Structure 1
């Protein structure tokens, strides 16, 4: 994957491949799309030397990654650097892709790889649909160019590995703007694979709005529910929503027994279909004994980010006869907002009693219900 450009035309403060779309760097989205294909064995990135730290952050946790290599002064030089780094592994096939094309489809990847079973090269491309005009030196129209048989080349471009490596080794510097042209120069047949129109290259500032709209079209709203209960034991304060509240007892639990944050975590994990809080922080693990529950909530939010999701709203209902929640409601909202890095007006904290009924009515403990709304990006 070629990811060493500076992206000047995109007018971003950082190289465009590290700019975010829908909360995730473009590079990460592209890496994840490629690595998710079952026929891809490994992914190697060619990056700019100043970008080692940015690459490490953007790619953390993505499977199948090989150590990155530093690119050259041109795209052609960068691709060759990547191919040379792979030479010792002697792969049979290689795909060359631009990091700024995060919307590559599973279908296109499959078609390219299958075509390489009987062809030396194959590229993703789209037939030209618009009428083409050649500009004159005066800035007007010089001629209309027939569009019959014309295609817009994109990436990935796929090749038999030895074929494309030898082509790069024998080519003059900056001999071509894409890799297929090196094979064309040697009269080697390269197949054209119809691409998905969404696989466009993010080049200009305006392209970010289009990319965001494509991501928005793949998002769905999910609701997560959580419920937790903790009994009282001797003590002088309870911890609710990260706030310590003086009381005639404390809540019993393996961690700090913050029933509010535990219910919240369950709701978040449920909305992501990841299980419950015990899946990640089992009470049998001594490392969590006495642990502050904000650690659990922050870990839940890390899962939200990893899924490319957004936490939209939190609604909490605390069920207790005592202590009184009203005087502490604003402090709890503020603390939860800080833990979740969420605006306070997206967090609701309510309290009720059971009118003296049940274990909470008998003042034996506290319960909490949590409902969260998540905006989650689908894989399609």
Structure 2
């Protein structure tokens, strides 16, 4: 039996003639995408790739049973990507894709679905129309149905860098996922092909002697494999968010006795500290207000009143991630932020890179979308007298259009 994580999730059922299950394969390492996290957990438009895929499938099939197969090393990453979605606890994958799919199918057996859609975690642009085509075929009696697009490029067979002949493309199609199956038939096909190296579940069904049909796929439903695919996906998500907003924030904290200050999430050694109900991180406070202003969602004082004792000494990164999550809850993304710290001391330059890195990590955006600046007031005013620090911030977000 597959190893199942213990976190329980509510079971959901499909209001169709029989339950529909979705199996998402997310146990791979994604090495072709370059160094870093496995590609399914890398950030695109402020969220993990897997999060986008889960969103797309949940929107298209809101009542489906969703099962994800993950790598045993990725449980923490998965929990962050899945958050509190009403889906099945993940199961661990095997040494091959086929073994991973089999583990997922075994976990789904208790639900007795009639149909199962097997989908790659790296295809976040699946659409409801394609899924409906697949289900219509299944409900008409098909055992296996794949979405496919007609090959339009001229194809050449090449050996040692030399073209040997042109391949006839008339009957060639590029297949995508999700691939749709009669559940019991796919179980039988996997059992009959154990030990064979097959690249997809359509191939498993073919090798087991089943007829495999196709429906029209969607060219936008591409698989994210390389670094350039990530750039293309980011652009696609941005184009889906045409409502561009800019918000600004401003904050001030006075000095008090101490030996460090918190600025933009970084502990900076100093001869004083900043006074405040929380950790008094003037940079993150201003940035939190800027993000909230961009989505017209009040300010930091409304959400975290200084009269509430539970925020005494609280790290300000909690405020910033709250504002980030408010943007994500609206289906939006943060595309750029800037913080300008205004003080005579301490010196900001030596800590600039660490501050930018910390903000980028908290907002889950690329560091090249984060700017931290510093200036003085030429000895004028309260900052010039070294009585405290001020900060001003701006944030640019993109949101979907209402309606």
| Pair in the same fold by TM > 0.5 | yes
Q: CA deviation at 1:65?
A: 3.4
Of 26-35 and 72-81, the range deviating more from structure 2: 26-35
Rate the CA distance shift 1:345–1:21 in 2: closer, same or farther, 3 A.
closer
Instruction: Work out the CA distance in 1 between the residues paired with 2:391 and 2:36.
Output: 43
Contact persistence 2:34–2:227 (CA under 8 A)? no
Matching of residues 343-362 of structure 1 within 5 Å: 346-347=372-373
- Secondary structure in structure 2 of the residue aligned to 1:31: helix
RMSD: 4.7
Q: Report the TM-score, using the length of structure 1 for normalisation.
A: 0.70
Contact persistence 1:123–1:154 (CA under 8 A)? yes
Rate the CA distance shift 1:377–1:122 in 2: closer, same or farther, 3 A.
farther
Gaps in structure 2 of 5+ consecutive residues? 1-23, 361-366, 383-387
Instruction: Work out the CA distance in 1 between the residues paired with 2:208 and 2:316.
Output: 64
Matching of residues 102-117 of structure 1 within 5 Å: 102-117=124-139
Instruction: Work out the CA distance in 1 between the residues paired with 2:43 and 2:321.
Output: 21
Q: CA deviation at 1:86?
A: 0.5
1:157 has 2:179 as partner = yes
Which of these two proteins has the greater Rg computed from alpha carbons? 1
Match of 1:312 in 2: 337
1:192 has 2:214 as partner = yes
Match of 1:98 in 2: 120
Instruction: Work out the CA distance in 2 between the residues paired with 1:258 and 1:351.
Output: 20
Rate the CA distance shift 1:330–1:112 in 2: closer, same or farther, 3 A.
farther
Instruction: Work out the CA distance in 2 between the residues paired with 1:229 and 1:137.
Output: 67
- Secondary structure in structure 1 of the residue aligned to 2:107: helix
Q: CA deviation at 1:268?
A: 1.1
Rate the CA distance shift 1:377–1:108 in 2: closer, same or farther, 3 A.
farther
Gaps in structure 1 of 5+ consecutive residues? 317-324, 361-365
1:287 has 2:310 as partner = yes
Instruction: Work out the CA distance in 1 between the residues paired with 2:316 and 2:49.
Output: 32
1:208 has 2:208 as partner = no
Instruction: Work out the CA distance in 2 between the residues paired with 1:24 and 1:181.
Output: 32
Instruction: Work out the CA distance in 2 between the residues paired with 1:48 and 1:3.
Output: 7
**For residues 26-55 of structure 1, what are the alpha-carbon distances to aligned partners after superposition, in whole Å with 9 as ceiling and x for unaligned?**
334333433343435332222334x23454
Contact persistence 2:115–2:183 (CA under 8 A)? yes
Aligned residues: 352
Match of 2:111 in 1: 89
**For residues 251-274 of structure 1, what are the alpha-carbon distances to aligned partners after superposition, in whole Å with 9 as ceiling and x for unaligned?**
8x8657777754432221232455
Of 304-313 and 208-217, the range deviating more from structure 2: 304-313
Contact persistence 1:268–1:372 (CA under 8 A)? yes
